[in-house]
């Protein structure tokens, strides 16, 4: 039965994921028949996206024959000239001895997995092996390019230049392409690119006809793009096999052996692809844990680097931190203490005393690695977690992540005292947004008589191998993209890395010789709080966002997509439904709805995908451009540039924190604030007024203390607002003039537009007073005698009630509302309510409406009665020509 379970999805994929695949397969069998009779025939065909595919006059059988003949597989076909020193350093890489088996396996299989430790030479050598075997050369059997994907731009660029150098070829032959920059040319043979670039190429050339082999590098990172790529490629391979003159070959490369999601996954590959393991050549690395886990890991990193520099033998130091700010701070601080210039200056000041002590001599007598007890470190306890350092609080470690005041750090007296004896540090930062030339500096030999110190993000964990590193300082944390499932806002959060990542980081110290890794956390934290492996990104982000992203890549049937690790199917379908309601996806028409696969992405959906927000909130932004609202808004845009909705969205973020943390006084204040808006039509306005007041006051901590709001939340909102404004400015140039840093107190009509925006993003969360839609309970309007008035909510079968905390609980029971959450306690409550006008629903929630036959009203206008939702709630009539 398991086989059946797996077979079904595959068939569905063939039928729905690539709706035209079937056609092509049918076409190609017709083609093959035709070719039997006329071997030289060439037929024009259409690809999955309607593009022309000209099939060359070569039969598939001929191709197979060629494959069958490949007893000489792996034989070098292209002669390359490498400089002697390149050849020499290549020979040191463990993967070089595996060239023959790797090339043979790739030639004889369409999908191959290669596993090898970071630094074993996968990224730089495998493309060269393939190049030498003829891939990417016009007159060979595999003329298509060799493509290599990387999750990061840094790696794509630096690896391209490295391989070009090794092969002595220009950047027009070994090229890279990243989102905003490329060196590709018509003569490119090897192309490094980010995984996003390849995904975009798939949208216009589904057969990837320019490539003969694609190498998916760093697959162990499980980035969403890489996962989706592997899923798509598993199908492209089949397509190419059946109808292209050459098959497409896929090489999946991973730094860890955790590859079962790719290999033992019949949904992905019916027969498990062969796995080649590259033997590791790694020197032993001694791991030292800190006794305590300090929240100030940045300061701790500086102290540790100082001590290593002062006391341990020569060898590069690699420091892992989480982001650009920390890295720049640490670099500046180390430069001040140990940079060549500052050391020289200090020496000059103390001239005459001890100048010129030979650093090499100093170190020669201090070469014993075991004298590291001074480091307050404990050896790695392989027997399991030692419980002796419970004096620390993880919560602290994670929450207190604000930028460290670098200048307030204690200076390390010992290190200061010894600095006359020190060689200068050669300090280099390394992070993704650093300009390329600066990134490349880590590969250059550091100046003689200096110690290399690289301060990096986890880009140095597996993507780039920095030569000469002997000491690793690992803060144990990384910045990760996270979504808050409650409010749908994307943010970057600092959290513990996985045990696998920690091992990778430690491994960086053992490339050149035995090394040391200093972990700025205790073994108890490691044992108790580090996951074995990090979760695939696709399981960490909310599903609606993933679905929208995939639809934007023309993957229409997301539920049938062969994910390496699939998200929950039920929630996938739910997400498709929600996106349809939001207008991001086309309503499936009668003809296509039989496959229940959900519609294609709309222009609205495409715009929504630009924002780093969950679809519901991006919808709110996009709606502010909706012609319906524009009409209503009457120039709101000129006055305030739709800024309120930005504030509103940002306001959503405070909500959760605010509701729990806001103290009583603030509650009253904001109620006052609310009252001063003269408006009690939406619970969400309260958040808006807090954000508005903050921005109006020019921000600052004093505002937060005074008003009892969380400074961090407010700062984040401020940043998010700036980010969203940038995106809006980039994509809607005409909105530019309106963006003001401060929000003036909103006018009444602006508040109405805001309510419409809120309606547009909660259009699938409408509630209506029960007596309006249920005839038998309509024995009059609401009874004031009854304490609470029952409502019907879309998709909720029970009666629901307005939560007493809502501003709408204090007014007479409204007829129609949209809600943010449903909460079940003794009863089912609606929270985060906004009063709406039902006349907005046909325009803002079109996909949930059906319209009656048009009729003439008294004034002689053609009208239609909309019915809303699956239960067909009748709404007030609208003009019939407004339906579309
Ligand atoms: O991909 P993998 O981690 O297996 O190894 P690689 O990135 O191909 O690196 C192989 C070797 O090339 C490492 O020892 C790097 O230090 C070196 N390399 C270099 O010196 N300069 C570069 N720009 C890239 C790699
Ligand atoms: Mg690599």
Tokens of 375: 């480091």
Helix, strand, coil content of the chain in percent (nearest 5): 45, 15, 40
Nearest atom (ligand 1) to Cα of 117:
4
Where is pLDDT greater, at 483 or 591? 483
Tokens of 819: 């809600």
User: Averaging pLDDT over each range in 434-448, 579-593, 734-748, which range is the top one?
Assistant: 434-448
Q: Which of 113, 124, 219, 428 is the best mutation target for the ligand 1 pocket, counting ligand atoms within 8 Å of the beta carbon and taking the most?
A: 124
Strand partners, 61: none
* Range of weakest confidence among 340-354, 478-492, 505-519, 828-842: 478-492
Q: Using CA positions, which residue lies closest to atom 14 of ligand 1?
A: 119
User: In angstroms, what is the span from residue 118 Cα to ligand 1's centroid?
Assistant: 8
Cβ-contact 781, 813 below 8 angstroms: no
- As a residue count, the chain comes to 884
User: In angstroms, what is the span from residue 613 Cα to ligand 1's centroid?
Assistant: 36
Cα–Cα distance measured from residue 663 to residue 667, given in angstroms and rounded to the nearest whole number: 6
Tokens of 597: 């696969």
Radius of gyration of the chain (CA): 31
Q: Does 869 contact ligand 1 (Cβ within 6 A)?
A: no
Cα–Cα distance measured from residue 168 to residue 502, given in angstroms and rounded to the nearest whole number: 36
Q: Mean of the pLDDT values across residues 399-404?
A: 32
Cα–Cα distance measured from residue 198 to residue 296, given in angstroms and rounded to the nearest whole number: 40
User: In angstroms, what is the span from residue 746 Cα to ligand 1's centroid?
Assistant: 57
Q: Using CA positions, which residue lies closest to atom 21 of ligand 1?
A: 443
Q: Does 116 contact ligand 1 (Cβ within 6 A)?
A: yes
User: In angstroms, what is the span from residue 202 Cα to ligand 2's centroid?
Assistant: 23
User: In angstroms, what is the span from residue 140 Cα to ligand 2's centroid?
Assistant: 27
Q: Using CA positions, which residue lies closest to atom 22 of ligand 1?
A: 162
In this predicted model, what pLDDT tens digit does every residue of 261-303 receive, in sequence order? Answer: 999 888 899 889 999 998 877 788 999 999 999 889 999 999 9
User: Which among 143, 145, 147, 148 has a CA at the least distance from the CA of 246?
Assistant: 143
Q: Does 119 contact ligand 1 (Cβ within 6 A)?
A: yes
First to last CA, the chain: 47
Q: Which strand ranges, in their side-by-side order, compose the sheet holding 862-864?
A: 855-856, 862-864, 878-879
Cα–Cα distance measured from residue 519 to residue 173, given in angstroms and rounded to the nearest whole number: 42
- What is the pLDDT at residue 55? 39
Q: Which of 94, 121, 251 is the best mutation target for the ligand 1 pocket, counting ligand atoms within 8 Å of the beta carbon and taking the most?
A: 121
Q: Which ligand is nearest to the CA of 280?
A: 1
pLDDT band at 362 (very low <50, low <70, confident <90, very high): very low
Q: Give yes or no for residue 767 having a pLDDT over 80.
A: yes
Percent of the chain residues past pLDDT 90, beyond the cut:
26
Cα–Cα distance measured from residue 286 to residue 660, given in angstroms and rounded to the nearest whole number: 45
Cβ-contact 709, 690 below 8 angstroms: yes
**Up-side HSE of residue 76: CA atoms within 13 Å toward CB?**
8
User: In angstroms, what is the span from residue 147 Cα to ligand 2's centroid?
Assistant: 14
Q: Mean of the pLDDT values across residues 146-166?
A: 93
H or E element that contains 473: strand 469-474
Q: Does 699 contact ligand 1 (Cβ within 6 A)?
A: no
Q: Does 122 contact ligand 1 (Cβ within 6 A)?
A: yes
Indicate the DSSP class of residue 613. B
Q: Give yes or no for residue 657 having a pLDDT over 70.
A: no
User: In angstroms, what is the span from residue 218 Cα to ligand 2's centroid?
Assistant: 6
Nearest atom (ligand 1) to Cα of 443:
21
Q: Using CA positions, which residue lies closest to atom 17 of ligand 1?
A: 465
Cα–Cα distance measured from residue 867 to residue 870, given in angstroms and rounded to the nearest whole number: 9
pTM over 0.80: no
Nearest atom (ligand 1) to Cα of 125:
8
Where is pLDDT greater, at 556 or 184? 184
Q: Does 183 contact ligand 1 (Cβ within 6 A)?
A: no
- What is the pLDDT at residue 633? 32
Q: Give yes or no for residue 153 having a pLDDT over 50.
A: yes
Helix (H, G, I), strand (E, B) or coil at 834: strand
User: Averaging pLDDT over each range in 139-148, 647-656, 743-752, 821-830, which range is the top one?
Assistant: 139-148
Q: Using CA positions, which residue lies closest to atom 20 of ligand 1?
A: 443
Tokens of 654: 């405070």
Q: Which ligand is nearest to the CA of 115?
A: 1
Cα–Cα distance measured from residue 455 to residue 323, given in angstroms and rounded to the nearest whole number: 10
Nearest atom (ligand 1) to Cα of 158:
23
Q: Does 468 contact ligand 1 (Cβ within 6 A)?
A: no
User: In angstroms, what is the span from residue 287 Cα to ligand 2's centroid?
Assistant: 23
User: In angstroms, what is the span from residue 325 Cα to ligand 1's centroid?
Assistant: 27
Helix (H, G, I), strand (E, B) or coil at 315: coil
Cα–Cα distance measured from residue 563 to residue 274, given in angstroms and rounded to the nearest whole number: 19
H or E element that contains 816: strand 816-818
Q: Does 465 contact ligand 1 (Cβ within 6 A)?
A: yes
Helix (H, G, I), strand (E, B) or coil at 573: helix
How many CB atoms are located within 10 Å of the residue 354 CB?
9
Cβ-contact 640, 738 below 8 angstroms: yes
Q: Does 220 contact ligand 1 (Cβ within 6 A)?
A: no
Q: Using CA positions, which residue lies closest to atom 6 of ligand 1?
A: 121
- Distances in Å between the Cα of 840 and the Cα atoms of 339, 629, 638 are 65, 10, 23
Percent of the chain residues past pLDDT 70, beyond the cut:
67
Cβ-contact 767, 801 below 8 angstroms: no
Distance of CA 7 to the CA centre of its chain: 31
Q: Are strands 766-769 and 791-793 parallel, antiparallel or unpaired?
A: antiparallel
- What is the pLDDT at residue 386? 29
User: Which among 679, 707, 715, 711 has a CA at the least distance from the CA of 810?
Assistant: 679
Q: Does 803 contact ligand 1 (Cβ within 6 A)?
A: no
Q: Does 124 contact ligand 1 (Cβ within 6 A)?
A: yes
In this predicted model, what pLDDT tens digit does every residue of 818-831 receive, in sequence order? Answer: 998 888 777 888 88
How many CB atoms are located within 10 Å of the residue 827 CB?
13
Q: Mean of the pLDDT values across residues 224-237?
A: 91
Q: Does 441 contact ligand 1 (Cβ within 6 A)?
A: no
Helix (H, G, I), strand (E, B) or coil at 215: strand
Q: Using CA positions, which residue lies closest to atom 7 of ligand 1?
A: 123
pLDDT band at 5 (very low <50, low <70, confident <90, very high): very low
Q: Give yes or no for residue 421 having a pLDDT over 60.
A: yes
184: exposed, middle or buried (Cβ count in 10 Å: 0-12, 13-18, 19+):
middle
User: Which among 768, 775, 762, 729 has a CA at the least distance from the CA of 868?
Assistant: 768
* Range of weakest confidence among 248-257, 316-325, 487-496: 487-496
Strand partners, 855: 863
Q: Does 121 contact ligand 1 (Cβ within 6 A)?
A: yes
Q: Mean of the pLDDT values across residues 690-715?
A: 71
How many CB atoms are located within 10 Å of the residue 491 CB?
15
pLDDT band at 550 (very low <50, low <70, confident <90, very high): confident
Q: Using CA positions, which residue lies closest to atom 13 of ligand 1?
A: 119
Where is pLDDT greater, at 435 or 396? 435
User: Which among 282, 339, 328 has a CA at the least distance from the CA of 306?
Assistant: 339
Cα–Cα distance measured from residue 54 to residue 734, given in angstroms and rounded to the nearest whole number: 43
User: Averaging pLDDT over each range in 14-28, 555-569, 782-796, which range is the top one?
Assistant: 555-569
Cβ-contact 695, 743 below 8 angstroms: yes
Helix boundaries (H) for 13-134: 21-37, 60-68, 84-91, 99-108, 122-132
User: Averaging pLDDT over each range in 35-49, 768-782, 788-802, which range is the top one?
Assistant: 788-802
Q: Are strands 211-216 and 249-254 parallel, antiparallel or unpaired?
A: parallel
- What is the pLDDT at residue 41? 47
- What is the pLDDT at residue 699? 72
Where is pLDDT greater, at 760 or 86? 86
User: Averaging pLDDT over each range in 241-250, 347-356, 758-767, which range is the top one?
Assistant: 758-767
User: In angstroms, what is the span from residue 465 Cα to ligand 2's centroid?
Assistant: 8
- What is the pLDDT at residue 832? 83
- For the stretch 379-382, contacts whose Cβ atoms lie closer than 8 Å and that sit 24 or more positions apart, written own/partner, are 379/286, 379/287, 379/288, 379/289, 380/286, 380/287, 380/288, 380/289, 380/523, 381/289, 381/523
**Up-side HSE of residue 107: CA atoms within 13 Å toward CB?**
27
Cβ-contact 236, 243 below 8 angstroms: no
In this predicted model, what pLDDT tens digit does every residue of 36-72 receive, in sequence order? Answer: 555 444 444 443 333 344 333 333 334 444 444 444 5
Nearest atom (ligand 1) to Cα of 467:
16
User: In angstroms, what is the span from residue 458 Cα to ligand 2's centroid?
Assistant: 13
- What is the pLDDT at residue 313? 92
Q: Does 523 contact ligand 1 (Cβ within 6 A)?
A: no
Q: Which ligand is nearest to the CA of 160?
A: 1
Q: Which ligand is nearest to the CA of 158?
A: 1
The angle formed by the CA atoms of residues 775, 779 and 782, to the nearest 5 degrees, is 105
Residue 872, Ramachandran bin (φ over 0: left; ψ between -120 and 50: alpha; else beta): left
Indicate the DSSP class of residue 214. E
Q: Which strand ranges, in their side-by-side order, compose the sheet holding 873-874?
A: 849-851, 866-868, 873-874
H or E element that contains 294: none
Q: Mean of the pLDDT values across residues 76-80?
A: 83
Predicted complex ipTM exceeds 0.95: yes
Cβ-contact 583, 620 below 8 angstroms: no
Q: Which of 465, 467, 469, 513 is the best mutation target for the ligand 1 pocket, counting ligand atoms within 8 Å of the beta carbon and taking the most?
A: 465
């Amino acid at each position: 039965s398991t086989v059946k379970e797996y077979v079904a999805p595959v068939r569905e994929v063939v039928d729905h994921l690539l709706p035209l695949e079937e056609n092509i397969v049918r076409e190609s069998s017709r083609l093959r028949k035709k070719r039997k009779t006329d071997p030289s025939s060439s037929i024009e065909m259409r690809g999955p996206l309607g593009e022309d595919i000209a099939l060359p006059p070569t039969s598939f059988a001929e191709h197979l024959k060629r494959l069958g003949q490949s007893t000489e597989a792996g034989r070098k076909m292209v002669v390359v000239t490498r400089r002697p020193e390149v050849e020499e350093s290549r020979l040191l890489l463990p993967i070089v001895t595996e060239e023959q088996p790797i090339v043979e396996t790739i030639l004889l299989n369409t999908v191959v997995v290669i596993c090898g430790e970071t630094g074993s030479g996968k990224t730089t050598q495998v493309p060269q092996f393939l190049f030498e075997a003829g891939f990417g050369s016009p007159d060979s059997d595999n003329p298509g390019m060799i493509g290599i994907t990387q999750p990061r731009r840094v790696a794509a660029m630096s690896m391209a230049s490295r391989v070009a150098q090794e092969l002595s070829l220009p950047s027009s032959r070994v090229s890279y392409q990243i989102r905003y920059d490329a060196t590709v040319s018509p003569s490119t043979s090897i192309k490094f690119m980010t995984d996003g670039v390849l995904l975009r190429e798939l949208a216009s050339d589904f057969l990837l006809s320019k490539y003969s082999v694609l190498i998916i590098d760093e697959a162990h990172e499980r980035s969403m793009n890489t996962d989706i790529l592997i899923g798509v490629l598993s199908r492209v391979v089949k397509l190419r096999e059946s109808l292209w003159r050459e098959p497409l070959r896929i090489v999946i490369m991973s730094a860890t052996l955790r590859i079962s999601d790719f290999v033992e996954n019949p949904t992905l590959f019916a027969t498990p692809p062969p796995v080649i393991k590259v033997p590791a050549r790694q020197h032993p690395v001694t791991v030292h844990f800190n006794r305590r886990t300090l929240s100030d890991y940045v300061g701790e990193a500086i102290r540790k680097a100082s001590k290593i520099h002062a006391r341990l033998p020569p060898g590069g130091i690699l420091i892992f931190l989480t982001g650009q700010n920390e890295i720049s701070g640490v670099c500046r601080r180390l430069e001040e203490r140990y940079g060549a210039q500052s050391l020289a200056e200090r020496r000059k000041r103390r001239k005459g005393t001890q100048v010129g002590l030979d650093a090499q001599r100093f170190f020669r007598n201090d070469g014993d690695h075991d004298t590291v007890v001074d480091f307050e470190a404990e050896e790695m306890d392989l027997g399991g977690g030692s419980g002796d350092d419970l004096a620390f609080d993880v919560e602290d470690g994670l929450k207190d992540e604000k930028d460290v005041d670098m200048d307030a750090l204690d200076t390390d007296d010992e290190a200061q005292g010894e600095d006359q004896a020190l060689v200068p540090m050669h300090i280099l930062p390394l992070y993704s947004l650093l300009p390329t030339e600066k990134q490349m500096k880590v590969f250059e030999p550091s100046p003689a008589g200096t110690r290399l110190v690289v301060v990096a993000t986890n880009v140095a964990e597996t993507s780039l191998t920095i030569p000469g590193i002997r000491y690793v300082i690992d803060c144990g944390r990384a910045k990760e993209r996270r979504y808050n499932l409650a409010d749908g806002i994307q943010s970057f959060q600092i959290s513990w890395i996985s045990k696998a990542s920690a091992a990778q980081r430690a491994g960086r110290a053992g490339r050149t010789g035995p090394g040391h890794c200093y972990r700025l956390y205790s073994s108890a934290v490691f044992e108790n709080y580090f996951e074995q492996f990090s979760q695939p990104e696709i399981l960490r982000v909310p599903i609606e966002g993933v679905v929208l992203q995939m639809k934007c890549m023309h993957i229409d049937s997301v539920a049938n997509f062969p994910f390496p690790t699939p998200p929950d199917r039920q929630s996938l379908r739910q997400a498709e439904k929600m996106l349809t309601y939001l207008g991001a996806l086309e309503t499936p028409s009668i003809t296509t709805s039989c496959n229940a696969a959900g519609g294609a992405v709309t222009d609205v959906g495409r715009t929504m995908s630009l924002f780093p927000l969950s679809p519901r909130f991006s919808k709110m932004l996009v709606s502010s451009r909706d012609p319906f609202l524009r009409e209503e808004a009457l120039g709101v845009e000129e006055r305030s540039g739709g800024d309120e909705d930005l504030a509103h969205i940002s306001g959503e973020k405070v909500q959760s924190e605010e509701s729990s943390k806001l103290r009583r006084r603030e509650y009253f204040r904001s109620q006052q604030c609310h009252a001063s808006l003269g408006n009690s039509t939406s619970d969400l306005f309260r958040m808006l007024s807090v954000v508005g007041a903050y921005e109006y006051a020019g921000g600052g901590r004093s505002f937060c203390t005074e008003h009892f709001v969380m400074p961090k939340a407010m700062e984040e909102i401020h940043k998010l607002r700036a980010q969203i404004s940038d995106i809006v400015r980039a994509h809607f140039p005409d909105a530019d003039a309106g963006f003001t840093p401060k929000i003036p107190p909103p006018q009444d009509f602006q508040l109405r537009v805001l309510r419409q925006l809120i309606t547009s993003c909660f259009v699938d969360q409408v509630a209506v007073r029960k007596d309006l839609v249920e005839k038998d309970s309509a024995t009059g309007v609401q009874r004031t005698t009854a304490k609470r008035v029952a409502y019907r909510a879309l998709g909720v079968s029970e009666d629901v009630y307005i939560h007493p905390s809502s501003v709408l609980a204090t007014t007479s029971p409204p007829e129609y509302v949209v809600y943010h959450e449903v909460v079940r306690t003794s009863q089912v409550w609606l929270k985060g309510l906004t009063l709406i006008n039902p006349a907005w629903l046909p325009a803002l929630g079109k996909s949930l409406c059906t319209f009656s036959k048009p009729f003439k009203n008294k004034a002689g206008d053609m009208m239609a009665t909309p019915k809303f939702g699956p239960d067909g709630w009748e709404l007030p009539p609208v003009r019939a020509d407004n339906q579309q």
